[in-house]
Structure 1
Amino acid sequence: MRSRLLSGAAALLISISGLTGLTACGSSSGSGSGDDAGPARLTVWIMRDSVAAPVLKAFTADFEKAHPGTTLDIQIQEWDGIGAKIVSALAGNDAPDVIEVGNTQVAQYAASGGVDDLTGKVADLHGSDWIPGLAEPGKIDGKQYGIPWYAANRVVIYNKDLFAKAGITAPPKTRAEWITDTTKLDTGGNQGIYLPGQSWYTYAGFLWDEGGDLATKSGGTWSGGLDTPQARAATAFYRQLQALGQGPKDSDEAKPLQANAFAKGDVAQIISTPGGAAAITEADPALKGKLGFFPIPGKTADRPGAVFTGGSDLVIPQASRHQAMAYQVVKALAGTTWQTRIAKAMSYVPNRTSLAGVLKGDPGASAMAAGAADGHATPNSPNWAAVEADNPIKQYLTQVLTGADPAKAGRTASEAITKALNTSS
């Protein structure tokens, strides 16, 4: 979903005029308790390219019709600097009433103060059906602050002509089949797969498949998870797959752009969000109609591989005088009607697993939705941004791909993750 999947700064801000000052986070009163539920003017800040203008226009008309006297004023916001803007808003006197945040950033914003506890609304919003990669990071210390909105995750994009040339008639469904097929494809001057060495979101999926995690918390203390048997197993598979192509070992998907590498015509597969297909055909229009999609294979055929789920959660600041109306905005955006319409219009994964079928007519989005059923998020800590800043996971992957001892490199990376997550801000 554009830069949202790779950026923690995604945000939609909905503000209501006449706000009072913010209080600290942690209230258990829940949205809509003793507030003014009457008509209000809601100013809606939506990030550029987050949702298409016709969809926003339709949502505005529908919401205003359902809530007579209420007005939505939607204003498009720029990406640059939005993270700091949210933190400042939560600490000031002019906060919005509903904020869309990157799903992995809920912990950071909740820790900054002023975010409402929406645990009491989970059942009303069909929380038992939420995809885990959006629901999990919105839940902090047993309380649900973030309400899942929509998501995106990685799939395999493949060149149908190269698959046919190799005699592969159906996409692989297990890791073993994937390695077999990719080995067949990695011949005759073609690359079986273009997998950059520092594609750490992809690696995280393999780690989750093995039952491990990037970090775990016990007794209030975080521990990095790259020095475990599960990490070594994930690393071994990553190294085996990465070797079946010519992806660089010391950079990620952006250096160089992997869509451009695929567009040269000699790459059979890349791991990307489905939106990567548009970049490929823009680079080489001759590939239009020749691209296929399948979920990242898992260890067994009964379920796809685990994936990192990037996307958006909705939170409500406590300061709102109109929390009941703010909640109605959240409920509408997270409800069946608008989950369906936004998913179809934007090729996003809906927030509920039971709605995956709405993407049936979109091959890329369908593959993405299938993978989202086993979606995960990065460790739920307000300090996770500090880990990504220096990113010892990338360093670890480059080291093991260039011959370093996985156990030793894993210990070093785990120590760096542990230090970053346990450092007081």
Structure 2
Amino acid sequence: MKNRPGPRCTALLAATALAATTLTGCGYLPGTGDSATTVTVWLMKDSASDGFVQRFTRQFESEHKNIRLDVRIQEWGGIGAKVTGALRSGDGPDLIEVGNTQVAMYAQSGGLRDLTLESVRDLGSKDWLPGLADPGSINGAQYGIPWYAANRVVIYNKDLFRDAGITEPPRTRAQWITDTEKLNGGGRQGIYLAGQDWYTLSGFIWDEGGELAEEAGGNYTGALDSPAAIRGMDFYKELQGLGRGPKNSDEAHPQQADVFAGGDVAQIVAVPGTAQTILKSNPQLKGRLGFFPIPGRTAARPSAVFTGGSDLIIPDKARHGDAAVTVVEALAGRKWQTELARTMSYVPNKTTLAGVVKGEEGTAAMAAGAARGRATPNSPRWAAVEADNPIKPYMTDVLTGEDAATAARKASKLLTDELVDR
């Protein structure tokens, strides 16, 4: 899932193929000769800076003199059709970055290389973030190797917290509600939470032990009507009701960063990178923004969160698949995970690497939540769900007064209809 909020959130599968910008062999060294294997790599736009790509290419080629890299930057729009076509034809790249929740769709085509052996032997898969690793695993085979993650945290206005007498961020849901109530009044809005922010709702549902959809025998059925999922929706309704966010639109309509930049909103739920958008709109907020993990039911651990980010896949028909595995091992290994996390303010792919972002308040808060990260149901048809997402109107129905159980049953049926393997 391309949850590059603004994530990199899953804007999936437009049908047009787009031309790629190419960063070719940035660090190619004289003397490697024509016998060197050229590995073609597709990376997505804005996933890694040009500087990172050039540094990686330069060092990788210096350490692997028989491999050259041809890195081609792709647009997210239309990438689904482009990747699917490449997997079918065998004329595509050797290594592809894909959104974590897209792996199941590509695996269904049968065109992906099984990387289970490499993931266990060389990459230390036991420590991978579950929100990246689980979507990359289909029927016990690891097709997607986790690359980077991003997830939501609470961005807050430190001045408004201090004015309300709140000296430290809440660590439990109950305290979060109490603090948000305190933040209301005096011209302040305790929280801005749009009515259809279904990614945030998903975390509350998982935190209660519920699911968006459940799998049995390879088939998925909607599960929004389970008692646990309804409890998650009940909490969302309570929290959303403490602000003035719209009940019938998502966090992009209007852009919640612009609302927060007005200066009278105390909190939003967003990825830490949203802070840069806020400061661009209102530079006077510089030094006044803080971050904390979304609180959980108890202080022992933060809430579950939706994990966006990317996995790395290798086509089964790749001309240079073995060399591509070597590239994956480098990109997913400690050195370049550390470099990518610090360069791009991402969460690295392993829980054991969380310490590399220590000192970066927003990224550290994100990493704390990522340890409990989840992804959307691992169905190859989930992209169809997001194209006409029944979770959003379900949320609006509940927030505007419809009985939660009735609305959940209706939404669950719509989810099941979308997830049926046709």
Question: Under a length normalisation based on structure 1, what TM-score does the superposition of the two structures give?
Answer: 0.92
Cα deviation code 1:308-334 (max 9, x no counterpart)? 000000111111232221100000000
Q: Which of 64, 78, 82 is matched with 1:81 structurally?
A: 78
Counterpart mapping for 1:409-424 below 5 A: 409-424=407-422
Cα distance between partner residues in 2 of 1:319 and 1:220? 26
Confirm or deny: 8 A CA contact 2:40 2:95 kept in the other structure.
no
Cα deviation code 1:49-71 (max 9, x no counterpart)? 22111111110011101111321
- Residue identity in the other structure for 1:52: S
Q: Percent identity?
A: 60
- Residue identity in the other structure for 1:275: G
Confirm or deny: 8 A CA contact 2:12 2:383 kept in the other structure.
no
Query: What secondary structure sits across from 2:155 in the alignment?
Result: strand
Query: What secondary structure sits across from 1:122 in the alignment?
Result: helix
Confirm or deny: 8 A CA contact 2:225 2:412 kept in the other structure.
yes
- Quote how far apart the aligned CAs of 1:8 are: 5.2
Query: What secondary structure sits across from 2:93 in the alignment?
Result: coil
Query: What secondary structure sits across from 1:5 in the alignment?
Result: coil
Query: What secondary structure sits across from 2:189 in the alignment?
Result: coil
Confirm or deny: 8 A CA contact 1:186 1:192 kept in the other structure.
yes
Query: What secondary structure sits across from 2:147 in the alignment?
Result: strand
Confirm or deny: 8 A CA contact 1:39 1:67 kept in the other structure.
no
Query: What secondary structure sits across from 1:396 in the alignment?
Result: helix
Specify the alignment match of 1:27 in structure 2. none
Counterpart mapping for 1:193-208 below 5 A: 193-208=191-206
Cα distance between partner residues in 2 of 1:330 and 1:93? 19
Higher mean alpha-carbon deviation, 72-81 vs 243-252, is at: 72-81
Specify the alignment match of 1:267 in structure 2. 265
- Residue identity in the other structure for 2:72: Q
Cα distance between partner residues in 2 of 1:317 and 1:86? 9
Cα deviation code 1:30-67 (max 9, x no counterpart)? xxxxxxxx830123332222211111111001110111
Cα distance between partner residues in 1 of 2:410 and 2:63? 56
Confirm or deny: 8 A CA contact 2:132 2:310 kept in the other structure.
yes
| Residue 102 (str. 1) matches residue 105 (str. 2) | no
Confirm or deny: 8 A CA contact 2:247 2:400 kept in the other structure.
yes
- Residue identity in the other structure for 2:141: K
Counterpart mapping for 1:54-203 below 5 A: 54-123=51-120, 124-203=122-201
Cα distance between partner residues in 2 of 1:302 and 1:344? 27
- Quote how far apart the aligned CAs of 1:253 are: 0.6
Counterpart mapping for 1:278-289 below 5 A: 278-289=276-287
Counterpart mapping for 1:224-263 below 5 A: 224-263=222-261
Confirm or deny: 8 A CA contact 2:143 2:313 kept in the other structure.
yes
- Residue identity in the other structure for 2:67: T
Cα deviation code 1:164-212 (max 9, x no counterpart)? 0001010000001100100100112211100000000000000000000
- Quote how far apart the aligned CAs of 1:423 are: 3.6
Cα separation, partners in 2 of 1:58 and 1:9, compared to 1, 3 Å? farther
- Quote how far apart the aligned CAs of 1:114 are: 1.2
Cα deviation code 1:331-371 (max 9, x no counterpart)? 00000000000000000000000101111121100100010
| Residue 402 (str. 1) matches residue 400 (str. 2) | yes
| Residue 6 (str. 1) matches residue 9 (str. 2) | yes
User: Would you identify which runs of 4 or more consecutive aligned residues in structure 1 move more than 4 Å?
Assistant: 8-11
Higher mean alpha-carbon deviation, 392-401 vs 65-74, is at: 65-74
Cα distance between partner residues in 2 of 1:45 and 1:133? 22
Specify the alignment match of 2:352 in structure 1. 354
Query: What secondary structure sits across from 1:310 in the alignment?
Result: strand
Specify the alignment match of 2:303 in structure 1. 305
Query: What secondary structure sits across from 1:309 in the alignment?
Result: strand
Confirm or deny: 8 A CA contact 2:42 2:74 kept in the other structure.
yes
Question: Under a length normalisation based on structure 2, what TM-score does the superposition of the two structures give?
Answer: 0.92
- Residue identity in the other structure for 2:85: S
Unpaired runs of 5+ in structure 1? 16-37
Cα distance between partner residues in 1 of 2:130 and 2:412? 25
Cα distance between partner residues in 1 of 2:231 and 2:5? 31
- Quote how far apart the aligned CAs of 1:390 are: 1.2
Cα distance between partner residues in 2 of 1:201 and 1:268? 20
Root mean square deviation, CA, Å: 1.8
Query: What secondary structure sits across from 1:115 in the alignment?
Result: coil
Confirm or deny: 8 A CA contact 1:8 1:102 kept in the other structure.
no
Confirm or deny: 8 A CA contact 1:133 1:376 kept in the other structure.
yes
Confirm or deny: 8 A CA contact 2:39 2:323 kept in the other structure.
no
Specify the alignment match of 1:210 in structure 2. 208
Cα distance between partner residues in 2 of 1:141 and 1:83? 22
Cα distance between partner residues in 2 of 1:131 and 1:235? 25
Confirm or deny: 8 A CA contact 2:131 2:374 kept in the other structure.
yes
